Amino acid sequence: MEEIAAESSNSKGIDMDLEGLETYSPSLN
């Protein structure tokens, strides 16, 4: 169960990172 929880938290972190990249990409362009 601990491993599954870690994977779910990591996926959420990746989603947040992708959202941040989307906000940064327009300013870079």
Structure tokens at 15: 């989603």
Q: Give the Cα separation of 29 and 13 in Å (integer).
A: 24
In this predicted structure, what is the pLDDT of residue 23? Answer: 66
C-alpha–C-alpha distance, residues 21 and 5, integer Å: 24
Please give the average per-residue pLDDT across 11-28, as a whole number.
63
pTM: 0.20
In the predicted model, is pLDDT for residue 28 greater than 60? no
> Which tokens is 25 given?
């990409």
Predicted confidence band at 15 (pLDDT cuts at 50, 70, 90)?
low
- What was the pLDDT predicted at 5? 56
Token pair belonging to 14: 């990746």
pLDDT band at 3 (very low <50, low <70, confident <90, very high): low
Distances (CA, A) of 7 to 13, 14, 21, 26: 10, 10, 21, 29
